[in-house]
Structure 1
Amino acid sequence: MAGTVAPPVTDPELDVEVDPDARGPLGTAFRYLAMPLLITAIIGGLYLWVQGQELDSIELRQLESSILWPRFVEHVQLSALSTFFVLFLAVPTGILMTRPRFRRFAPAVIGLGNAGQAIPSLGTLALLYFLFVAVDGLPSTGLVPVTVALVGYSFLPILRNTMVGLDQVDPSVLEAGKGMGLSDRRILRRIELPLAVPVVLAGVRTALVLNIGTAALAFLFGGGGLGVIIQRGFQLSRTPVLVTGAVLVAALALAADYLAGIIEEKLAPKGL
């Protein structure tokens, strides 16, 4: 009958009511477009707000694209580089810590990861700065020490999620793989890692957002980034400059989390 609302259906696996329209094209489009529209609204609102201010010559100079764009690119580079290295280090370490021969070392490794995140981000950067200063031949400021500090700060989420993802694989599935004649290495590659992908990628998303936020402090050690814009806003007592830097960092974190969520969804095995 025209105008009749379709009754909710029950998902037999979850035993909950599901709105049929939520699975249609409209629901899918909303799910994929909501965050880009929100980010666009945030950037657009920032632009309109800044344009509505009476900017002096100092503010106009600090808000030029020739100033903002290089700092934005530096921030993206810092976040991406540190996330790449922590992914390169934490995932293999998490895999090793779930193997029978190395499980006895897991508490110590997790303890180191906890220490890296328990220390406040500014403290981590400062400790790494003094370490690099104390060792001759190492750069004390710039990209290298900041990247190392970010890796140490975001190491735990990926490490722990990798271990949790591998440990939660059903032992009966592993036994079935062994019964099919698969070696331990093939079981890891073909069964354990694919099933652990959603949990591991959730840790990567967390680490990426942490790195983007913490990279705002990189300017204290010559690392550049959007923190330079925020710091200049404080120093010069120019609110538009300060707000612009802060909003750009927040928008970048939202965009990175959104893109990482799409990648997580696409890489997750079907049926999970």
Structure 2
Amino acid sequence: MDIIGWLVDPANWTGTGSIPVQSLMHLLYSGIALLAAAIVAVPLGLYVGHTGKGESLIMGSVNAMRALPTLGLLILLVLLIAPTIANNLAFVIPALIVLVLLAIPPILSGVASGIRAIDRSVIDAARGMGFSTAQIIWRIEIPCALPLTLSGVRGATLQVVSTATVAAYVSLDGLGRFIIDGRAGNDYAEMAGGSLVLAVLAILLELGFALTTRAVVSPGLTRRTKAAPIAPALDTETRALRVA
């Protein structure tokens, strides 16, 4: 059977091991990992970007995660965790840990880089107007850092989605199931078909992020000036306060 034949075969679109079900499981693992990574990376990125403290230690340690061998770490974690857990979580937890470690670096780098790229005069103007630290973070730094933050999340998403296929190596579901099972049965149409579905999924996610960025990011922040559009507004408010 060729790739097209495998893709259009109705048997591959129904049942528990079908393409839609495996795609949903793939997205579920990826989504959980990205959410957990964001919970860790966003606060750290805000701290590093806002204070400038611990940049070498935190960023260096996080970037070192990029060098971790994904498959080797997954197998090691399974060997360590499996003896203590008797159910399917013995494989789910290691897979999620591996994906979280993969997603943290780009998200953290995106948040921290976005904040560091803000013109310091904007921050100084806000402080001069009496903005508190929390107000500066929420009303200036986070909105201005949004383009690079979304870029980091987009990169993390594509990495996690493409790497989540390793979950099938420890008997979990997902699109990697087609690759592993196809290799075991010498069914190269299944392997290629599963890879093609994964590629299409990644492209759709990329398009989704592009549309989301256009919808939520101010057009001024996507140009070279980055935070410049905010400065006039702050200056106007400052002049109004002086007149008052």
TM-score interval for Structure 1 and Structure 2 normalised by the shorter chain:
0.7 to 0.9
Counterpart of 1:87 in structure 2 is 38
Counterpart check, 1:98 vs 2:39:
no
What is the identity, as a one-letter code, of the residue corresponding to 1:180? M
Residue 71 (structure 1) aligned to one of 17, 22, 39: 22
Gaps of 5+ in 2: 222-244
Counterpart check, 1:232 vs 2:187:
no
Q: Note if contact 1:141-1:222 (Cα within 8 Å) is conserved in structure 2.
A: no
Counterpart check, 1:160 vs 2:109:
yes
What is the identity, as a one-letter code, of the residue corresponding to 2:62? G
Using the TM superposition, give the Cα deviation of residue 123 of structure 1 relative to its aligned residue in structure 2, in angstroms. 2.5
What is the identity, as a one-letter code, of the residue corresponding to 1:71? Q
What is the identity, as a one-letter code, of the residue corresponding to 2:5? V
Q: Which has the higher helix share?
A: 2
Superposed counterparts of 1:12-31, under 5 Å: none
Q: Distance in 2 between matches of 1:137 and 1:161?
A: 36
Q: Distance in 2 between matches of 1:95 and 1:131?
A: 33
Q: Quickly say closer, same or farther: Cα 1:52–1:248, change in 2 above 3 A.
A: closer
Counterpart of 2:92 in structure 1 is 143
Counterpart check, 1:50 vs 2:5:
yes
Q: Quickly say closer, same or farther: Cα 1:213–1:267, change in 2 above 3 A.
A: same
Q: Note if contact 1:71-1:225 (Cα within 8 Å) is conserved in structure 2.
A: yes
Q: Distance in 2 between matches of 1:64 and 1:189?
A: 45
Offset from partner CA, 1:42-96 (integer Å, 9 cap, x none): xxxx97x21699x9xxxx86x3522222211110101111111111211111111
Q: Quickly say closer, same or farther: Cα 1:125–1:176, change in 2 above 3 A.
A: same
Using the TM superposition, give the Cα deviation of residue 181 of structure 1 relative to its aligned residue in structure 2, in angstroms. 0.9
Using the TM superposition, give the Cα deviation of residue 189 of structure 1 relative to its aligned residue in structure 2, in angstroms. 0.6
Q: Quickly say closer, same or farther: Cα 1:116–1:229, change in 2 above 3 A.
A: same
Q: Distance in 2 between matches of 1:198 and 1:99?
A: 17
Using the TM superposition, give the Cα deviation of residue 131 of structure 1 relative to its aligned residue in structure 2, in angstroms. 3.7
Q: Note if contact 2:104-2:156 (Cα within 8 Å) is conserved in structure 1.
A: yes
What is the identity, as a one-letter code, of the residue corresponding to 2:35? F
Q: Distance in 1 between matches of 2:138 and 2:206?
A: 26
What is the identity, as a one-letter code, of the residue corresponding to 2:33? S
Q: Indicate the larger mover: 80-89 or 104-113.
A: 104-113
With normalisation by structure 1, the TM-score equals 0.73
Q: Distance in 2 between matches of 1:207 and 1:170?
A: 26
Q: Note if contact 1:87-1:158 (Cα within 8 Å) is conserved in structure 2.
A: yes
Counterpart of 1:176 in structure 2 is 125
Using the TM superposition, give the Cα deviation of residue 212 of structure 1 relative to its aligned residue in structure 2, in angstroms. 0.5
Percent identity, aligned pairs only, is: 27
Using the TM superposition, give the Cα deviation of residue 129 of structure 1 relative to its aligned residue in structure 2, in angstroms. 2.3
Using the TM superposition, give the Cα deviation of residue 260 of structure 1 relative to its aligned residue in structure 2, in angstroms. 1.4
What is the identity, as a one-letter code, of the residue corresponding to 1:112? S
Q: Report the aligned-residue RMSD.
A: 2.4
Counterpart check, 1:206 vs 2:155:
yes
Q: Distance in 1 between matches of 2:44 and 2:86?
A: 26
SS in 1 for 2:173: coil
Counterpart of 2:198 in structure 1 is 249
Counterpart of 1:132 in structure 2 is 81
SS in 2 for 1:182: coil
Q: Note if contact 1:150-1:215 (Cα within 8 Å) is conserved in structure 2.
A: yes
Using the TM superposition, give the Cα deviation of residue 143 of structure 1 relative to its aligned residue in structure 2, in angstroms. 2.4
Counterpart check, 1:261 vs 2:207:
no
Superposed counterparts of 1:212-227, under 5 Å: 212-227=161-176
Runs of at least 4 residues of structure 1 off by over 4 A?
A: 137-140
Q: Distance in 1 between matches of 2:41 and 2:99?
A: 13
SS in 1 for 2:174: coil
Using the TM superposition, give the Cα deviation of residue 158 of structure 1 relative to its aligned residue in structure 2, in angstroms. 0.6
Q: Quickly say closer, same or farther: Cα 1:220–1:141, change in 2 above 3 A.
A: farther
SS in 2 for 1:237: coil
Q: Quickly say closer, same or farther: Cα 1:242–1:174, change in 2 above 3 A.
A: same
